[in-house]
Amino acid sequence: MAQTIRRGAKTVRRQARSQGTKTKVRKARAQTNSLVDALMRVLPFTEEQLHKFFLAAILGVLLLGAWLVASLAGLPELAGRQFALYAADAGYEVRRVEVHGAERMNKLKVYERVLGEQDRAMPLVDLDALRDSLMELNWVGDARVSRQLPDTIVVDIVEREPHAVLEKPDRLMLIDATGHELEPISRQDAKGMLLIAGPSAQQQVEALAKLLDAAPALKPQVAKAEWVGNRRWNLTFKTGQALALPQGEQKAATALMSFARLDGVNRLLGGKVVAFDMRTPERIYMRVPGRAQEELKTKEEGS
């Protein structure tokens, strides 16, 4: 009987080789899956997080490609706009704002500046301009603005520290240690805080702090400091007693330290003297209520 042999039919060797190739492919896939599973167990990411990461990476490659094409065509601005549109379509636009570090100030003032960026594509948000806007707020000493992809703007505020109360002709102002005005304050809320008064006193706040640091034992006892004649300080203590200091930073510091030593020995604060005058070098003048009348009466009786 004659046999019919088909052309193109696989020989036994070719079938065996093909079967071996399929087996190798299955083994390679199994090893790859095992490796991926092992990595998933080791890495601190969930499968969903990795999926988002790879999706973001693919999107980044596509956006980079679009930008390169537009740039090569001589259209960098169009490339940026196209980049922003792709990002917005992918969910990379401002939907949330987080503010950290604003404890004393009104957070609404921060949100007012930042919420103007809401629904804007993330690449179009000008972080430097936004920071400059926040630095205009009285309480903001420093600010950092950053993107938290895909949809959040994060604002970290460094607040100024309240230091004293500045007495102005029409109101009281809370100020920091540099004299920078923070906000108006009521007289009731200002109780217990250092009150600074006098024309141009706001420019002398740092110098006053340095002066008071020369006598740390007296510093907590000072209730008010008045800048007189744009040249020297009068201090009023919590006891209601006043101290007139001489002109000049060094002379004033020396006089204040001398007064601190005298108070330590003789307990001047809380005594009968209502005013001390140390403007004359090496001398201290003290005023006691009624002393002049007593001396006059004594002279009259003696005559």
Q: Is residue 7 part of a domain?
A: no
Distance from C-alpha of 19 to C-alpha of 201, rounded to nearest angstrom: 94
Looking at the fold, whether 61 and 152 belong to one and the same domain comes out as: no
Which residues are within 8 A (CB) of 210 and not within 5 positions of it... i.e. 6 or more apart? Answer: 249, 253
Q: How many domains does the chain have?
A: 3
Looking at the fold, whether 257 and 191 belong to one and the same domain comes out as: yes
Report helix, strand or coil for 165: strand
What is the reported pLDDT for 70? 60
Which residue is listed with tokens 């007289």? 187
The CATH number of the domain holding residue 116 is 3.10.20.310
Asked whether 182 and 139 are in contact (CB, 8 A), the reply is: yes
Q: Is residue 122 part of a domain?
A: yes
Asked whether 147 and 122 are in contact (CB, 8 A), the reply is: yes
Q: Is residue 299 part of a domain?
A: no
Which residues are within 8 A (CB) of 241 and not within 5 positions of it... i.e. 6 or more apart? Answer: 268, 269, 273, 274, 275, 276
Structural domain boundaries enclosing 135: 96-159
Q: Is residue 6 part of a domain?
A: no
List the one residue out of 245, 243, 261 whose CA is nearest residue 207: 245
What is the reported pLDDT for 79? 47
What's at 109, amino acid-wise? K
Looking at the fold, whether 51 and 172 belong to one and the same domain comes out as: no
Which residues are within 8 A (CB) of 234 and not within 5 positions of it... i.e. 6 or more apart? Answer: 225, 226, 228, 242, 243, 244, 245
Q: Is residue 119 part of a domain?
A: yes
The CATH number of the domain holding residue 201 is 3.40.50.11690
Looking at the fold, whether 191 and 107 belong to one and the same domain comes out as: no
Each residue's pLDDT tens digit in the chain (303 positions)? Answer: 444 445 444 455 555 555 556 565 565 555 555 554 555 555 555 666 656 666 667 766 766 776 666 666 555 554 445 555 544 555 567 788 899 999 999 999 998 888 877 767 777 888 999 999 999 999 999 999 998 888 888 999 999 999 999 999 999 999 999 999 999 999 999 999 999 999 999 999 999 999 999 999 999 999 999 999 999 999 999 999 999 999 999 999 999 999 999 999 999 999 999 999 999 988 899 999 865 555 545 455 555
Looking at the fold, whether 136 and 230 belong to one and the same domain comes out as: no
Q: Is residue 187 part of a domain?
A: yes
Looking at the fold, whether 141 and 242 belong to one and the same domain comes out as: no
**275 φ, ψ (degrees, to nearest 5):** -145, 140
